[in-house]
Structure 1
Amino acid sequence: MTFARSDPISDLETLPRMPSWVTSTRAETLEDVAFLSGSALNHLHLVLGRAEVPHALLRDRLALRAAEACVAFSGRSERAGELRDAVHLLRPGDLPGPAGETYLAWRRAVERPVSIKALGRALPAFEPGQIAGWLDAGQGMPVVRAAMVLEAVLTEAPRADVPALILSDIALAQALGWGHLMPLLATGLKRADLRKQGDDLRFACHRALISTVVEVVRLAADLARRATHLKAVAPKLRAKGAGDAVEMFLTRDSVAPSALPLPDRAARRLCDRLVDLGAVRELTGRDTFRLYGV
């Protein structure tokens, strides 16, 4: 007996879709918004369980979005393109600046499995014991734990928005049994929400997660399609080191040709070839100092 071969692009259509009532229902009480955020997180958990989703790439793209939100909270004007430049175009000995440091903190926080040691690398200004103490402040259900950690950090260090949001997402990931941080809260919360406490902060966190998770599910499906296409065209690439280059694109939000494991001219030709094949995009719109991503 023979079986028809599965079409990987068609298979992506089977990714579970967010029920419309999660976003259409108006939640006015803490109990209602908690139910909706729980439903959204459960749906995201199902999506993240699918092998088609490029998890490292998704986390890195979300790290950029979280950094952009945090930079805006601080009153700075840098947006995604400028944050990419601040990190990917750094020369040896250069400093990334405050916005670049924010982006680096999020990238370091998402790239390794959750641990105090890994968090120490992302948040070097804080002692491991202090980080562990803040995480221990979270008790109860996942979103409640995240809100408690957020409040505990900001109570003790009122200007530490970035560490507070990273640690609250860590608390959420730990409560949900995820091995890696998934940046969710920063992009859904408003600046004023960070000064709330108790039930008001919990309500804001629940509400933020509903909107953020909807966007993350859409992004996961989009990246899954793009990653599947990149894998499909990879055999057409003849350059030595192309396989390692493709793996970099599958795990990073953006890549400079100079970072690829090829000579400079070969790296630029490979990037142009991938653009021609519709597998990656040029992200800057510039003729020089270009960055590419899925």
Structure 2
Amino acid sequence: MTYARVDFDTLPPMPAWITSARAETLEDVAFLSGAALNHLHLVSNRPEVPQCLLRERLALRAAEACTAFIGRPERAAELRDALHLLRSGDLPGPAGETYLSWQRSVERPTSVKALHRALPTIESGQVAEWLDAGQGAPVTRAAMVLETVLADVPRQDVAALVLADAALAQALGWNHVLPLLAPGFKRTDLRKGGTELGMACHRAVTKSAIEVVRLAADLARRTAYLKEAAPRLRAKGAGDAVDMFLARDALAPSALPLPDRSARRLCDRLVDLGAVRELTGRDTFRLYGV
């Protein structure tokens, strides 16, 4: 169980002229979103950044935003519980279904089959048709897909946003969906159309890209600590457990490839080492993550 040492301090921050700009025209907001996406592309593909973990955290943020759009009270803690504490045969509920859709949308390389798996109530043919509805530059294409889906099925916000992010990823040449639109949107943005929706999409992408670059740097730092702590772990199966933490937003001890007692001890040891965090603040039914 060996890991190469990484230098997360080499990750370049988003330039200040992007983070501090106040654009008002379509031309200006489009320029800023393009610059932000280009920087995000460079940073997110750095070897220091845990790709799977980053996408999982963004899926959680997108799910949190979508539940807020419809006035539901669930936030990150409740969404994690909705999936990780399910018993066999239980249903995750509306908020859990939203989170599950986003989680599945980022798990596999973008394809109609993968998107249908994330949105099982929508036929594969319809997914393909909507995904092809956009034309032009990446954000413009995403906005067109978003508007088309919402025009056809006005209450399917999650499906529309997943497919819009998928269209954006495809236009940028990314293999996986990176949820950007939902976390950057205001609730009223989803009811806009035409140029106003395009402006909202550019602003959402810029806002999210800035946050994702910061998140990527934070996750690079946290995963570096975990990799440095790994050689101090003696439990059989600890290496596989570390690999799971490097790829998953949150894990219950029961999900680890160790006996229950050993898994709990390993999680406590990782917390003591500062390598992972206990995410719930509870004494029982705990969840852990980088």
TM-score range (shorter-chain normalised) is over 0.9
Q: Which runs of 4+ in 1 moved over 2 A?
A: none
Counterpart among 181, 184, 189 of residue 188 in structure 1: 184
SS at match of 2:105: helix
1:234 equivalenced with 2:230 (yes/no): yes
User: Equivalents in 1 of 2:105, 2:207: separation in Å?
Assistant: 22
Could you state the TM-score of these two structures normalised by the residue count of structure 2? 0.98
- 1:138 paired residue number: 134
1:150 equivalenced with 2:155 (yes/no): no
1:115 equivalenced with 2:105 (yes/no): no
- 1:173 paired residue number: 169
Q: Which amino acid aligns with 1:198?
A: G
1:73 equivalenced with 2:69 (yes/no): yes
Q: Is the 8 A contact 2:235 2:266 kept in 1?
A: yes
Q: Indicate the percent of aligned positions where both proteins have the same amino acid.
A: 75
- 2:257 paired residue number: 261
Cα displacement (A) at 1:13: 1.4
Q: Which amino acid aligns with 1:98?
A: P
SS at match of 2:47: coil
Q: Deviations over 1:33-80 (max 9, x none)?
A: 000010000000000120010000000011001000000111110110
Q: Which amino acid aligns with 1:111?
A: E
- 1:3 paired residue number: none
Q: Which amino acid aligns with 1:75?
A: G
Q: Is the 8 A contact 2:56 2:248 kept in 1?
A: yes
User: Equivalents in 1 of 2:21, 2:268: separation in Å?
Assistant: 46
Q: Which amino acid aligns with 2:60?
A: L
Q: What CA RMSD, in Å, does the superposition of the two structures yield over aligned residues?
A: 0.9
User: Equivalents in 2 of 1:64, 1:165: separation in Å?
Assistant: 14
- Structure 1, unpaired ranges of 5+: 1-6
Q: Which amino acid aligns with 1:39?
A: A
User: Equivalents in 1 of 2:256, 2:277: separation in Å?
Assistant: 15
User: Equivalents in 2 of 1:213, 1:149: separation in Å?
Assistant: 20
Q: Deviations over 1:4-30 (max 9, x none)?
A: xxx945x22111111101121211100
Counterpart among 36, 55, 64 of residue 40 in structure 1: 36
- 2:99 paired residue number: 103
Q: Deviations over 1:87-111 (max 9, x none)?
A: 0000001110000000000000001
User: Equivalents in 1 of 2:5, 2:230: separation in Å?
Assistant: 15
Q: Is the 8 A contact 1:16 1:46 kept in 2?
A: no
Cα displacement (A) at 1:86: 0.5
User: Equivalents in 2 of 1:251, 1:13: separation in Å?
Assistant: 21
- 2:221 paired residue number: 225
- 1:58 paired residue number: 54
Q: Which amino acid aligns with 1:265?
A: R
Q: Is the 8 A contact 2:5 2:228 kept in 1?
A: no
Q: Deviations over 1:116-152 (max 9, x none)?
A: 1111110000111100000100100000000000000
User: Equivalents in 2 of 1:269, 1:24: separation in Å?
Assistant: 45
1:285 equivalenced with 2:281 (yes/no): yes
Q: Is the 8 A contact 1:257 1:268 kept in 2?
A: yes
Q: Which amino acid aligns with 1:264?
A: D
Q: Is the 8 A contact 1:12 1:225 kept in 2?
A: yes
- 1:162 paired residue number: 158
Q: Which amino acid aligns with 2:289?
A: G
- 2:121 paired residue number: 125
Give the aligned length.
287
Q: Where do 1:2-21 residues align within 5 Å?
A: 8=5, 11-21=7-17
Q: Is the 8 A contact 2:58 2:179 kept in 1?
A: yes
Q: Which amino acid aligns with 2:207?
A: S
SS at match of 2:284: coil
Q: Is the 8 A contact 2:8 2:224 kept in 1?
A: no
- Structure 2, unpaired ranges of 5+: none
Q: Is the 8 A contact 1:105 1:122 kept in 2?
A: yes
1:26 equivalenced with 2:22 (yes/no): yes
